[in-house]
Amino acid sequence: HHHVLYATAEGVKAVIDTGHYHPEAILWQRLADYRAAGGYGLLADCHAGRITVETLMQTLEAANLRGLGGAGFPTFKKWYFVRQETGPRYCAINADEGEPGTFKDRVYLERSPHRFLEGALVSAWAVEAEALYIYLRDEYPGLHRVLREAIGELETAGLVAPDYIILRRGAGAYICGEESAMIESLEGKPGKPRHRPPYVAQRGLFDCPTLVNNVETVAWIPLIWEKGADWFAGQGRHGRKGLRSFSLSGRVKRPGVHLAPAGITLNELIEEYGGGMPEGHRLAGYLPGGASGGLLPASKADIPLDFDTLQEHGGFIGSAAVIVLSDQDDLRDVATNLLAFFADESCGQCTPCRVGTEKMLSLLERDEWQSDELERLSQVMMDASICGLGQAAPNPVLGLLKDFRGELAAQNLIVKG
Ligand code: NAI
Ligand code: SF4
């Protein structure tokens, strides 16, 4: 496949082609190269007491670093919550990247596992974690080898105590990316989400306070420290702050992970980074946050894409998995497909999600839709599901009902109510 430009942060326009690869052929930055470029300097400064946790937290706050797994929770605040609790504490990194359309963490791990590991170790240091767990999705077998080798390099170099980093494999369940289900899975149990509160920051792994962060979130820490909070925060557009790794797919000429300013609009993203749409395609709509972030129409392609900017329009950026749909896509099929995905991946623990997803799927297969019935069912699922899966499952359908009535009518679908 195409060769890759390394995703340095200077390369705001850097394009990473994430096309097919052979697991044995992943070229990653080895420890010696990473260290030669100053890598693990931050970790050394932390361990030697040259940097305090407070200073680093202030930097992350000023940089506006937020949870890039999708929820956007301020990173420094998570550290603060976990540090408030009495030890022992743990740190667990969520590398179970399972959101449809999301493939950015894979790119960070493939290119620079040590930058990620340094960020993870700094996070573990910040909460004085007993151990650092990494939960890697099993569909990334090549990355399992990369991480194993990178951790081995660290142990051999004496930069980390043997067995301090514990690498675990998922087993293909989407729900195990939900943080409390991930923790259950790490404990050797079936991956079923827990009720919150308590949050994992209070009672997580082995019932101890646990810092759970996404791969990309921690991978930014060494770079933000090196280049400064202002540098990172200053990269946004349309009044937003920071950079986002958009997993761009669908009807664009150049799909891939594009590092772009937070707050960029869909139209700008497609034109400046995605190479435009293929000939003969007209924008019909887009999924701003994979399967979970709703379905927005072409008329909403000029909204800044970021946390907090899409809610009022019925969308959510989540992990920034932008899927571009054209007039040649059957949007009803798209919504039905996503619902089938959620029904399949529901852990079955709570009724509104287990029954609701199946029920909605059966309603979608009819040639006449009752919008009030679909909306009532959606409301129950959003209000009463235990976790984000059931709460987000109705989003694509709600999007269709809200903004795509004309398209549905053109498909001879009767929508009543
Ligand atoms: P959330 O907003 O409920 O929680 C976000 C984080 O903040 C969690 O770690 C939570 O423990 C913490 N938190 C929130 N309030 C807290 C408090 N008062 N005290 C301590 N900690 C607190 O969101 P959730 O359900 O964890 O994640 C949903 C997101 O995940 C969605 O945006 C979705 O897009 C994304 N997602 C990403 C996937 C991926 O593959 N990257 C897969 C599926 C969903
Ligand atoms: Fe399981 Fe769905 Fe309930 Fe989440 S909402 S706990 S996935 S049944």
Overall average pLDDT of the 367-390 stretch? 97
Task: Kindly give the distance from the C-alpha atom of residue 36 to the centroid of ligand 1, in angstroms, as a whole number.
Answer: 36
Compute the distance between CA of residue 191 and CA of residue 174 in angstroms, rounded to an integer.
9
Average pLDDT (385-391) is 98
**Which amino acid, one-letter code, is at 350?**
C
pLDDT of residue 136: 98
For residues 82 and 154, give the distance between their C-alpha atoms in angstroms, rounded to a whole number: 26
Residue 4 Cα to chain centre, angstroms: 22
User: What pLDDT is recorded for position 22?
Assistant: 59
Query: Which residue bears the tokens 């979130």?
Result: 217
- Going by pLDDT thresholds of 50, 70 and 90, the confidence category of residue 11 is very low
d(CA 356, CA 90): 35
Mean pLDDT of all residues in 311-321: 97
Average pLDDT over residues 246-263: 96
Look at residue 7 and tell me whether its pLDDT is greater than 70: no
237: exposed, middle or buried (Cβ count in 10 Å: 0-12, 13-18, 19+): middle
Give nearest CA residue, ligand 1 atom 24. Answer: 71
Please report which confidence band the pLDDT of residue 411 belongs to, taking 50, 70 and 90 as the band edges: confident
- For the cut 70, the answer to whether the pLDDT of residue 64 exceeds it is yes
Query: Does residue 16 register a pLDDT over 50?
Result: no
For residue 349, report the distance from its CA to the centre of ligand 2, in Å.
6
| pLDDT number for residue 15 | 37
Mean pLDDT of 335-344: 96
In the chain, pLDDT over 90 holds for what percent of residues?
Answer: 91
Please state the rounded mean pLDDT for residues 150-159. 98
pLDDT on residue 417: 81
Interior angle at CA 235, CA 229 and CA 238, nearest 5 = 125
Grade residue 1 by pLDDT with cuts at 50, 70 and 90: very low
Q: What is the pLDDT of residue 62?
A: 98
pLDDT, tens only, 113-124: 999 999 999 999
- pLDDT at 14 (0 to 100): 34
In this model, does residue 17 exceed pLDDT 80? no
Check whether 279 has a pLDDT greater than 50.
yes
| 123-139 residue pLDDT tens | 999 999 999 999 999 99
Number of H helices, E strands in the chain: 17, 12
Residue 57 is predicted with a pLDDT of 98
Whether residue 9 is predicted with pLDDT greater than 80 in this model: the reply is: no
Type of residue at 405:
R
Length of the chain: 417
Q: Which of 103, 305, 319 is the pocket-test mutation for ligand 1 (most atoms within 8 Å of CB)?
A: 319
Which among 263, 249, 321, 331 has a CA at the least distance from the CA of 297?
331
Instruction: Say which ligand is closest to the CA of 195.
Output: 2
pLDDT value, residue 5: 33
386 lines ligand 2 (CB under 6 A): yes
**Mean of pLDDT values over 73-91:** 98
CA distance 25 to 132: 27
10 Å Cβ neighbour count for 127? Answer: 23
Task: State percent of the chain over pLDDT 70.
Answer: 94
- Whose atoms come closest to the Cα of 135: which ligand? 1
Q: Which residues line ligand 1 (CB under 6 A)?
A: 67, 69-71, 73, 81, 97-99, 102, 177, 179, 199-201, 212, 289, 292-293, 316, 318-319, 388
**Residue 13's pLDDT band (cuts 50, 70, 90):** very low
User: Whole-number mean pLDDT of the chain?
Assistant: 93
State if residue 387 touches ligand 2 by the CB under 6 angstroms criterion: yes
Q: Inform me whether the pLDDT recorded for 103 exceeds 90.
A: yes
Tell me the β-bridge partners of 214: 94
Residue 407 and residue 361 in contact, taking contact as beta carbons nearer than 8 Å:
no
* Confidence check: pLDDT of 4 > 50: no
Residue 26: predicted pLDDT: 80
CA atoms of 39 and 51, how far apart (whole Å)? 16
